[in-house]
Amino acid sequence: MSRQEPHLPTPAVNNARTTRLSRLPPLILHPFSGGHGSDTLVDGSLASLALQGFVDSEEDHLVLERRVLAGRYQEMRMLLFLGKDVFRWMQQCVGHLEAAEDSDDRLVEQSFAALIVEDPPACVQVKLESWGVNDRRAIFSRAIGIHSVFAEPPPIESLSPIFLRNYHRYADHAYICYQHSRAFLALDSSSCRFEIYASDEYARLLSEEWQLDQE
Number of domains in the chain: 1
**In terms of residues, how long is the chain?**
215
- Quote the Cα angle for 103-107-111, to 5°: 160
Residues 94, 71: Cα–Cα separation, whole Å: 35
Question: Has residue 36 been placed in a domain?
Answer: no
pLDDT at 54 over 80: no
For 2-15, give one letter per residue: b (16+ CB within 10 A) or e. eeeeeeeeeeeeee
Instruction: Kindly tell me the burial class for residue 198, based on how many C-beta atoms sit within 10 Å of its own C-beta (0-12, 13-18, 19 or more).
Output: middle
**Arithmetic mean of pLDDT over the chain:** 81
Q: Decide: pTM greater than 0.85.
A: no
What is the pLDDT, as a whole number, of residue 207?
Answer: 76
pLDDT at 52 over 70: no
Question: Has residue 43 been placed in a domain?
Answer: no
With residue 165 as reference, give the H or E element that holds it: helix 161-165
Question: Has residue 160 been placed in a domain?
Answer: yes
pLDDT at 43 over 70: no
Rg (CA), the chain: 20
Domain that holds residue 194: 76-214
Question: Has residue 41 been placed in a domain?
Answer: no
Partnered with residue 198 across adjacent β-strands are: 29
Average pLDDT value for residue range 133-146: 95
Question: Has residue 84 been placed in a domain?
Answer: yes
Question: Has residue 23 been placed in a domain?
Answer: no
Question: Has residue 10 been placed in a domain?
Answer: no
Question: Has residue 143 been placed in a domain?
Answer: yes
CA 194 to centroid of chain Cα atoms: 15
What is the pLDDT, as a whole number, of residue 13?
Answer: 37
What is the pLDDT, as a whole number, of residue 214?
Answer: 59
